[in-house]
Amino acid sequence: MKNSDIKYIVEILKNAKQPKSDFVLLMDSFKNPYLVLISCILSLRTNDKTTYPATLRMLKLAKTPKDMKGVNVEELKKAIYPVGFYENKAKQIIELSRIIDEELDGKVPDEIEDLIKFKGVGRKTANLVLSLGFNKPAICVDVHVHRIFNRLGYIKTKNPEETEFALREKLPKRYWIDINTLLVTHGQNVCKPVKPNCQDCPIAEYCAKIL
């Protein structure tokens, strides 16, 4: 694809009306950095179908750092099971909530360098908090974003972290916030890891099909 094609790709995907997963819709609705943060932690190494109901169960227990830090860890483990590494995630969420409430005046940091200081929070999670929670330009790169941009031929990278920095250099900033939701949805519906549905892909004419 040509670099200039990105504007057409983004516009087509915005208008494609591909169904979003319940978890993606939930995350898009939050507009709250703390809820984005703890929900994204749950989603790591877990599919959306499992993460969505687990997130709803977790939020019945608490929705603020002050309340979450007081939740019994065993109760939280039970609520979020069977997300991957649920025991570690329960401990992580409670400790992270304590730090935010007691050491950060209840406020989630709005800089990536501060967010990744939290145990278990990587660049993907931090960028999602910035974009969905604070509406700040940030590029959240997961496996879908990494895979699709490489298939398109827009970049050539080996892993999601390389992809993030490559996109920071190349992708116009006006697309940064939207690109994760667009490509996650496209990756879940059409551009799948194995046997992508190229015949029904709305952006097939721009794709280099680097599989």
pLDDT tens, residue by residue, 12-33: 999 998 999 999 999 999 999 9
- What percent of the chain stands above pLDDT 70? 100
Instruction: Confirm if 170 and 13 have CB atoms less than 8 A apart.
Output: no
Q: List helix spans (H) across the chain.
A: 6-15, 22-30, 33-43, 48-61, 65-68, 73-80, 86-103, 112-115, 123-128, 143-152, 160-170, 176-189
The confidence band for 157, taking pLDDT boundaries of 50, 70 and 90, is very high
DSSP conformational letter for 160: H
Average pLDDT (122-149) is 97
What does the alpha-carbon distance between residue 204 and residue 83 come to, in Å, rounded to a whole number? 34
pLDDT at 147 > cutoff 90: yes
The confidence band for 80, taking pLDDT boundaries of 50, 70 and 90, is very high
Q: Under DSSP, is residue 154 helix (H, G, I), strand (E, B) or coil?
A: coil
pLDDT at 42 > cutoff 90: yes
pLDDT at 211 > cutoff 90: no
Q: Which residue has the higher pLDDT, 83 or 210?
A: 83
pLDDT at 152 > cutoff 90: yes
Q: How many CB atoms lie within 10 A of CB 36?
A: 23
| pLDDT one-digit tens code per residue, 90-124 | 999 999 999 999 999 999 999 999 999 999 999 99
Phi, psi of 166 (to 5 degrees): -65, -40
Mean per-residue pLDDT over the chain, rounded: 97
Structure tokens at 23: 């978890």
Phi, psi of 10 (to 5 degrees): -60, -45
Q: 149, 153, 168, 128: which is closest to 37 by C-alpha?
A: 128
C-alpha angle 15-135-190 in degrees, rounded to nearest 5: 30
Average pLDDT (152-177) is 97
The confidence band for 36, taking pLDDT boundaries of 50, 70 and 90, is very high
Tell me what pLDDT residue 17 has.
86
Name the CA dihedral angle for 177, 203, 18, 134, rounded to a multiple of 10 degrees. Answer: 0
Average pLDDT (130-153) is 97
What does the alpha-carbon distance between residue 39 and residue 83 come to, in Å, rounded to a whole number? 11
Average pLDDT (197-210) is 95
C-alpha angle 67-70-72 in degrees, rounded to nearest 5: 125
Instruction: Confirm if 167 and 141 have CB atoms less than 8 A apart.
Output: yes
